[in-house]
Homo-oligomer: A and B are copies of this chain.
Amino acid sequence: MTVHEALEAPLLRFEEALSELVRSEVLFIRLIHQDLVTAGGKRIRPRLVFLASGALGGAPYDLELALAVELLHSATLLHDDLIDDAETRRGKEAAFRKYGNAVSVLSGDFLLSRLLFVIAKTGRMELVERFAEVAKTLSEGEVLQFQVAALEDYSLENYERIITAKTAVLMALCTEGPALLKGEAEEVREALRRFGLLYGQAFQMRDDYLDLMGTPETLGKPVGGDVREGKATLITLLLMERFPEVREILRRKGREAGDLERLRALAQESGVAKEVEERIRQRAEAAARALLPLPDSPYKEALKALALKEAKRLS
């Protein structure tokens, strides 16, 4: 049985359990969750849990952990992606927005309450503690991202803090979690934690790269979303060091005609695009190397392959 086949059953149970878990008597909560939570998605985080679980031997399970990380991720999506309520009223937005931001946010809170429920079911207080830490770091990372944009406090150091806090620490919990639940040795826990952190960073760096350098077709949304929110990512930060105009473009949130095209051209011509791809590759390879202390297995190979894919992911 391949790893891919071995994951089918737990992923199926995951979808069933998730639907069950987010069931509510309140119609508007059901409608939002139909759109956002139970409509599929790549389930990257539950997959990480199952792969890490499998890499430790035994069946790839830890269903509650997989549910909890996905619930935290989905709630964050509902909480950080608010839109202008005036736009909602003009009906420009997706169906699930039409009840307004507050309903989206409170539906996210509902998911967080189900996260509490599902970790309580494990009976493991250290899991409650780890989720407390991760949720704290995650919310701080999200707010820091807004703060850096508002104060134009752009730096590579802040960029690393943001991608670590808002993406990598949750990925690290996905991979370390099974080791924690199984009571593995510190060396194994640390290896899986480091893998999750480095993989999460590479993942976010790739997402940020594609946000500017990708195509609307592969992204499934217009390019330049980060620029339009005044958010500097690795590519714009490196460009800023060489071209003062990039700071101006970010300040005006890419609103002038040709701004995005200019950034893309500068990134290609200056070699910054290549440099960023190289940095992502290095981070992905560091993630793969972090798994060295683990016994060889198809699951370990699958985790490595997942990380190395970030060096060339296009969508």
Contacts and interface: CB of A to CB of B under 8 A. Distances in A.
Interface of A: 24-29, 75-76, 79-86, 99-103, 105-107, 109-110, 112-114, 116-117, 119-120, 123, 125, 128-129, 131-133, 135-136, 138-140, 142-144, 146-147, 150
Contacts of A110: 136, 139-140, 143
A82 B105 contact: yes
B107 A139 contact: yes
Contact of A114 (B26, B106, B113, B136): B136
A146 B100 contact: yes
A169 to B, nearest CB: 12
A28 B85 contact: no
Contacts of A114: 132, 136
A76 B140 CA distance: 18
B129 A106 contact: no
The SS class assigned to the A binding surface is: helix
Of A26, A119, A136, most buried by chain B (CB within 10 Å of CB) is A26
Contacts of A24: 140
Contact of A106 (B83, B120, B143): B143
B125 A109 contact: no
B29 A143 contact: yes
Nearest to A118: B132
B146 A99 contact: yes
A147 B103 CA distance: 9
